[in-house]
Chain A
């Protein structure tokens, strides 16, 4: 069966520090991968998605970036965090094909201080 791992679960970082969140998927090949952010009391905001290695689409311009160095690995990064980057970051995957559901990782709760 397919599983998705995301780490760390919680993170407290000072303003201006770098960020690296990692996500890996097991049990499937060539998944579509996503990074979402959910601010407190808000809906899910799509940040990036990827349909293949090295292919990244950005949905919202900001100081975050994403990379997909391997088929089942998706990384969210920032060179300098802002206070507004605080939130709940969720990695997700789904199988190719337009009608498959999304499966989320456990999420990373980031607090920028």
Chain B
């Protein structure tokens, strides 16, 4: 079983739509969680960290469910510029100061006009 799993998509949505991605992780000891976005042929860029209480950044909302071991990303009022691949990243703590990072394969989103 993979440490982090994501639905690869693709998700094709019209502008203005709300879209949600989920990501599941296998290690209950995982301590921190992130969403990255990667544009075609570019490096991944940090979109937002995910906090236990859930957090919001403009049109983006991230949530963590430790009991079910998944994190989610909700994008409201989708823009054309939101088209990208969204990567889920889980930091697994093993008692050291350097946690191991696990990346999902990414979920592809295309927003059409």
Contacts and interface: CB of A to CB of B under 8 A. Distances in A.
Interface string B96-108: 1111010111100
B57 interface: no
Contact of A44 (B34, B93, B103): B103
Contacts of A109: 41
B66 interface: no
Interface in B61-113: 87, 89, 91, 93, 96-99, 101, 103-106
Interface residues on B, range: 20 to 34
| Most interface-central of B34, B43, B104, B106 (chain A CB within 10 A) | B43
B1 interface: no
Interface of B: 31-32, 34, 41-46, 49, 87, 89, 91, 93, 96-99, 101, 103-106
